[in-house]
C-alpha cells in the first residue's frame, strides 16, 4: 500500500508541472480524426492505492480514448471464459515488431505472438464475439464494474473513425481466419475490437479498474474475484514483456513494472501489492507509447523505488 497520500499527491503535482514545462517531443496519433483533434497539452497522472483511495494531478479526471489499454481487459475476459484453451490460439512471447505488424503473423501461421499486439487482441475479440451473445455490452459492463462507475461510455466518434480506417486490422483478422484461427465473421470481430478501443476513461477510472492486478486477482474495493491469482500473474507477466510493444525491454530495464500503453496517450503500470499508476499525455514516440506518460512513470517509479525486479 502507498503511504502518505498527501506527499504522493504533492509529488504527482510537481512531476506534472515539471513535465509540462519541458520541451517535449512526440506526435499525437493522427490515423483517425477523432484522436488527431485531442489537444497535445493534456497531461495527467493518478495513483490508485490498493485500499481503494486515489490521488491525482493535472487532467486526471478527464476521459480519453483508452485504445490498446482495452487489450488488458479483453484478455482477462477471454481467460475467464475459455481458460487455457486460449493459449492454443495465441502465444505469450514478445513480438519485437510494431503493434500492428502483419509480417510475423504469416510466418507463424496465424498464431499471434501475444494477446497485447493488435493481432492478439483481434484473436481475443474473436473469443469474446463467439462466446458472449452481446460481447460489446459485456465488455462495457465489465469496465463499469471494475471502475465502480456506470458513467463509463463508448466514444461513438472514435468508434466510427476506427471502422472507417480499419483496413490494417481487417487484414490481420482475415489473415488469421485464412489459417482457421478466427471463428466469428470478421466484421463482427472488428466491431467488437473497435468498440473496446473506443471506450473513454480517465486516469483515475483506469487506475482503479486495474487494482485487481495489483491484488492477486481480487478487486480490493468490492472484494470480488475478477480472475484467479494465477491469471493475474500471467497478465502481469505479459504486460512486463510485451505491454509497451517494441519498447518493452527498455521499459523493463529502466522502470521495471508491468505496463500497457494506448495510442490515445494513456499508460497504466501495475505495482503489485501497492496499487496502479495511470498517466496520460497524447504525443507518442515511434513505438506508439506516450512520451510524457512514460517520463512521468519513470520519474515516479524511480523516486518511490518501485520495481518488481528489486
Ligand atoms: N496501440 C494502440 O493503441 C492501437 C489501437 C488502435 N485502435 C489500432 O487498432 O491500431
Q: What is the mean pLDDT of residues 46-60?
A: 97
Binding-site positions for substrate read 68, 118, 162, 169, 193, 245, 263
Q: 187 and 88 in one domain?
A: yes
Q: In terms of residue numbers, what domain contains 254?
A: 5-64+202-304
| CATH number where 157 lies | 3.40.710.10
Higher pLDDT, 284 or 23: 284
Q: 185 and 77 in one domain?
A: yes
For residue 244, how far is its CA from the centre of ligand 1 (angstroms)?
12
Assess if residue 310 is contained within a domain.
Answer: no
Asked whether the whole model's pTM tops 0.95, one would answer: yes
Dist CA 96 CA 113 (whole Å): 9
Q: Number of structural domains, the chain?
A: 2
Q: 149 and 88 in one domain?
A: yes
Dist CA 169 CA 166 (whole Å): 5
Q: 133 and 167 in one domain?
A: yes
pLDDT for 16 = 97
Confidence band of 218 (pLDDT split at 50, 70, 90): very high
For residue 67, how far is its CA from the centre of ligand 1 (angstroms)?
6
Atom of ligand 1 nearest to the CA of 197: 7
Please choose from 154, 162, 171, 190 the residue to mutate so as to test ligand 1's pocket, defined by most ligand atoms within 8 A of CB: 162
- Does the beta carbon of 118 lie inside 6 Å of ligand 1? yes
Report pLDDT digits (tens) over 73-111.
999 999 999 999 999 999 999 999 999 999 999 999 999
For residue 197, how far is its CA from the centre of ligand 1 (angstroms)?
7
Q: 134 and 14 in one domain?
A: no
**157 pLDDT higher than 80:** yes
**275 pLDDT higher than 80:** yes
Q: What percent of the chain has pLDDT over 90?
A: 97
Assess if residue 169 is contained within a domain.
Answer: yes
pLDDT for 127 = 98
DSSP for 59-126 reads: STTS-EE-GGGHHHHHHHHHHHHHGGGHHHHS--S---S-TT--HHHHHTTT--S-TTSHHHHHHHHH
**23 pLDDT higher than 80:** no
- Element containing residue 36 per DSSP (H, E): helix 33-36
Please state the length of the chain. 310
Please choose from 98, 262, 285 the residue to mutate so as to test ligand 1's pocket, defined by most ligand atoms within 8 A of CB: 262
Assess if residue 82 is contained within a domain.
Answer: yes
- Does the beta carbon of 247 lie inside 6 Å of ligand 1? no
Q: What is the mean pLDDT of residues 243-262?
A: 97
**228 pLDDT higher than 90:** yes
- Does the beta carbon of 290 lie inside 6 Å of ligand 1? no
Assess if residue 144 is contained within a domain.
Answer: yes
Assess if residue 149 is contained within a domain.
Answer: yes
Q: What is the mean pLDDT of residues 197-216?
A: 98
Q: 164 and 120 in one domain?
A: yes
How high does pLDDT run on average in the chain?
97
pLDDT for 106 = 97
Question: Which of 147, 171, 197 is the last residue before a domain boundary?
Answer: 197
**268 pLDDT higher than 80:** yes
Angle subtended by helix axes 186-197 and 167-178, to nearest 10: 130
For residue 263, how far is its CA from the centre of ligand 1 (angstroms)?
6
* Interface predicted TM-score (ipTM): 0.95
pLDDT for 3 = 86
Q: 32 and 122 in one domain?
A: no
Assess if residue 309 is contained within a domain.
Answer: no
Confidence band of 139 (pLDDT split at 50, 70, 90): very high
Catalytic residues: 68, 71, 193, 245, 263
Atom of ligand 1 nearest to the CA of 263: 3
Amino acid at each position: 500500500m502507498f503511504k502518505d497520500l498527501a506527499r504522493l499527491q504533492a509529488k504527482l503535482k510537481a512531476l506534472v508541472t515539471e513535465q509540462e514545462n519541458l520541451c517535449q517531443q512526440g506526435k499525437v496519433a493522427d490515423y483517425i480524426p477523432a484522436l488527431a483533434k485531442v489537444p497535445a497539452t493534456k497531461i495527467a497522472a493518478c495513483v490508485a492505492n490498493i485500499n481503494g483511495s486515489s490521488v491525482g494531478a493535472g487532467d486526471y479526471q478527464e476521459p480519453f480514448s483508452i485504445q490498446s489499454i482495452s487489450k488488458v481487459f479483453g484478455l482477462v475476459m477471454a481467460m475467464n471464459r475459455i481458460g487455457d484453451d486460449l493459449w492454443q490460439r495465441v502465444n505469450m512471447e514478445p513480438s519485437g515488431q510494431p503493434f500492428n505488424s502483419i509480417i510475423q503473423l504469416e510466418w507463424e501461421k496465424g498464431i499471434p505472438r501475444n494477446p497485447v499486439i493488435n493481432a492478439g487482441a483481434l484473436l481475443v475479440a474473436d473469443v469474446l464475439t463467439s462466446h458472449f451473445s452481446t460481447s460489446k455490452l459485456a465488455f462495457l459492463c465489465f469496465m463499469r464494474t471494475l471502475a465502480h462507475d456506470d458513467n463509463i461510455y463508448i466514444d461513438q466518434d472514435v468508434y466510427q473513425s476506427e471502422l472507417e480506417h480499419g483496413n490494417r486490422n481487417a487484414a490481420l483478422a482475415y489473415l488469421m481466419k485464412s489459417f482457421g484461427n478466427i471463428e466469428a465473421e470478421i466484421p463482427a470481430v472488428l466491431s467488437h475490437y473497435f468498440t473496446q478501443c473506443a471506450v473513454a476513461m480517465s486516469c483515475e477510472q483506469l487506475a482503479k479498474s486495474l487494482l485487481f492486478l495489483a491484488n492477486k486477482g481480487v478487486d480490493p474495493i468490492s472484494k470480488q474475484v475478477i480472475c484467479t491469482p494465477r491469471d493475474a500473474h500471467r497478465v502481469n507477466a505479459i504486460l512486463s514483456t510485451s505491454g509497451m510493444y517494441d519498447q518493452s525491454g527498455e521499459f523493463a530495464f529502466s522502470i521495471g513494472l508491468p505496463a500497457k500503453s494506448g495510442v490515445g496517450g494513456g499508460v497504466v503500470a501495475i505495482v503489485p501489492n501497492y496499487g496502479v499508476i495511470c498517466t496520460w499525455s497524447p504525443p507518442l514516440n515511434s513505438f506508439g507509447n506516450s512520451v510524457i506518460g512514460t517520463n512521468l512513470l519513470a520519474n515516479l517509479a524511480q523516486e518511490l523505488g518501485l520495481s518488481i525486479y528489486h
